[in-house]
């Protein structure tokens, strides 16, 4: 693994919290992700399973975690199963975790090879009553390919059809959405690396460069700091910024254009998610500045408005009401446009058509019940935007925050965002 070692207390703490939410006589199972195929004999790099990482810190393929807090044998209460290292694996794939290493990473004392899994699993299935299987329950997930967890769930229910099965995601999501202090430290590292990448881009961007060259600057900064892209970055000049999921990143940045950068570093599997919009030639036009400052005001007010107890739905509505006023002042909406629409279809949607933010963590659009009110230690993005294709530009700004009882903490307060600061850094 590329990141510095993590104190296993992070993972021990996650397991303790999960065990507390399991009813008596429960058995929970979490699988690694599959290594996904591409074409011919190719494969994608392994994307560690976020739930398995959250509970163990383990990023190795084929690993399985079993939790059975009431198991008769104390040694069966918490077991990690791993691929057994071999001379052949060492030659072809390199190092695989030893049992001691896995214990050091995860804090789990019982580490076994996968060959022992069937026997121990059968004992625990016969002994326990409630079985908790993992599944992807993100509301916006497109699950066309069966995951390892899904395959496991199917096979387990075939072999043991009389057990009572439950959805582990229902227990994991409310835990994962509340970040521990150690998780927030890792998120801060991702935010810092993202900021370094953005500062590098500020020095680099000028008319004539291509969007992919700006992407390469970010990649350089992220990779040398032990991170990777959290998601395919959006590097969108001019009207490309109005395509919300643009990621061709193949156009030339022209004089007078704005350049929207939606990019985050992922360090130790924790993701940052930043958006900044900068002038290609180093100076905003008067109109660009007016739109930019409108978005900035909405972002700042929405950060302040992310308070404990607020519903995501109400937070969005407040931002849409602010945006209506800003769009009115910019001459993009008329009073009659605002009156004509209702709260569910606000006039602002014509120029600000996406959500205001999302939970952030081991996943960029992190898991958590977004129907629940904001609670302390939720980490959220705040990302208003105004997109005006008829004027050839769009502006989005996005910061990452922590909700606390004393009000929100802006994790990106050091990442340049004021017009003057951005112009100054670009023209130095």
State in angstroms the smallest separation of the CB of 263 from ligand GLY. Answer: 8
Compute the distance between CA of residue 284 and CA of residue 293 in angstroms, rounded to an integer: 11
273 near Mn ion, rule: CB under 5 A: yes
State in angstroms the smallest separation of the CB of 271 from ligand GLY. Answer: 9
State in angstroms the smallest separation of the CB of 201 from Mn ion. Answer: 15
Q: Which does 231 bind (CB under 5 to 8 A by kind): Mn ion, ligand GLY, none?
A: ligand GLY
- Interface residues toward ligand GLY, by CB under 6 A: 231, 262, 273, 364, 383, 398
| Residue closer to ligand GLY (CB basis): 153 or 402 | 402
State in angstroms the smallest separation of the CB of 202 from Mn ion. Answer: 18
| Residue closer to ligand GLY (CB basis): 30 or 259 | 259
CA distances from 14 to 192, 258, 309 (A): 25, 43, 24
Q: Which does 60 bind (CB under 5 to 8 A by kind): ligand GLY, Mn ion, none?
A: none
Site for Mn ion in 34-73 (CB under 5 A): none
The overall longest dimension of the chain from CA atoms, in Å, is 74
| Residue closer to ligand GLY (CB basis): 78 or 383 | 383
Neighbours of 420 (CB within 10 A): 9
| Residue closer to ligand GLY (CB basis): 229 or 374 | 229
| Residue closer to ligand GLY (CB basis): 169 or 274 | 274
| Residue closer to ligand GLY (CB basis): 261 or 323 | 261
| Residue closer to ligand GLY (CB basis): 257 or 398 | 398
State in angstroms the smallest separation of the CB of 398 from ligand GLY. Answer: 6
Q: Which does 189 bind (CB under 5 to 8 A by kind): Mn ion, ligand GLY, none?
A: none
Binding mask 360-399 for Mn ion (x = CB under 5 A): ---------------------x----------------x-
State in angstroms the smallest separation of the CB of 381 from Mn ion. Answer: 4
Options 157-165, 196-204, 260-268, 310-318: segment touching Mn ion (CB under 5 A) = 260-268
Compute the distance between CA of residue 245 and CA of residue 255 in angstroms, rounded to an integer: 23
| Residue closer to Mn ion (CB basis): 121 or 229 | 229
Q: Which does 117 bind (CB under 5 to 8 A by kind): ligand GLY, Mn ion, none?
A: none
State in angstroms the smallest separation of the CB of 216 from ligand GLY. Answer: 19
State in angstroms the smallest separation of the CB of 243 from ligand GLY. Answer: 13
State in angstroms the smallest separation of the CB of 409 from ligand GLY. Answer: 19
Q: Which does 217 bind (CB under 5 to 8 A by kind): Mn ion, ligand GLY, none?
A: none
Neighbours of 4 (CB within 10 A): 10
Compute the distance between CA of residue 174 and CA of residue 176 in angstroms, rounded to an integer: 6
Binding site for Mn ion (CB under 5 A): 262, 273, 381, 398
């Amino acid at each position: 693994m590329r990141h510095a070692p993590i104190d296993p207390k992070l993972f021990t703490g996650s397991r303790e919290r999960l065990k507390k939410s399991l009813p008596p006589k429960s058995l929970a199972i979490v699988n690694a992700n599959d290594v996904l195929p591409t074409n011919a004999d190719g494969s994608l790099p392994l994307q560690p399973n976020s739930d398995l990482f959250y509970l163990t810190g383990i990023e190795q393929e084929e690993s399985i975690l079993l939790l059975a807090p009431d198991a008769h044998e104390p040694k069966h209460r918490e077991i990690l199963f791993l691929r057994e290292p071999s001379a052949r694996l060492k030659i072809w794939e390199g190092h695989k975790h030893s049992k001691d290493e896995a214990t050091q990473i995860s804090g789990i004392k019982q580490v076994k090879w996968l060959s022992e899994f069937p026997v121990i699993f059968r004992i625990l299935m016969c002994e326990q009553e409630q079985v908790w299987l993992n599944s992807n329950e993100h509301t916006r997930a497109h699950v066309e390919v069966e995951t390892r967890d899904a395959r496991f769930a199917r096979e387990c229910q075939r072999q043991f059809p009389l057990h009572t099965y439950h959805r582990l995601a229902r227990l994991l999501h409310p835990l994962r959405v509340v970040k521990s202090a150690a998780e927030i430290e890792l998120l801060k590292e991702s935010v810092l690396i993202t900021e370094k990448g953005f500062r590098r881009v500020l020095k680099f961007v000028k008319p004539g460069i291509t969007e992919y060259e700006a992407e390469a600057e970010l990649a350089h900064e992220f990779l040398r700091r032990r991170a990777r892209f959290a998601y395919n970055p959006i590097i969108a000049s001019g009207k490309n910024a109005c395509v919300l999921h643009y990621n061709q990143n193949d156009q030339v940045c022209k004089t007078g254009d704005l350049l929207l950068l939606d990019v985050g570093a992922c360090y130790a599997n924790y993701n940052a998610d930043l958006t900044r919009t900068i002038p290609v030639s180093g100076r905003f036009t008067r109109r660009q500045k007016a739109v930019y400052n409108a978005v900035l005001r909405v972002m700042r007010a929405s950060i302040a408005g992310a308070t404990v107890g607020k519903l995501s739905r109400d937070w969005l509505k407040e931002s849409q009401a602010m945006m209506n006023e800003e769009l009115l002042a910019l001459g993009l909406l008329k009073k009659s446009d605002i009156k004509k629409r209702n709260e569910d279809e606000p006039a602002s949607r014509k120029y600000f058509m996406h959500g205001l933010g999302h939970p952030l963590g081991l996943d960029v659009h992190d898991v958590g019940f977004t129907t629940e009110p904001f609670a302390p230690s939720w980490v959220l993005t705040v990302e208003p935007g105004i997109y005006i294709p008829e004027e050839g530009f769009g502006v989005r700004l996005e910061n990452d925050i922590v909700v606390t009882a004393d009000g929100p903490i802006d994790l990106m307060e050091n990442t340049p965002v004021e017009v003057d600061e951005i112009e100054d850094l670009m023209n130095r």
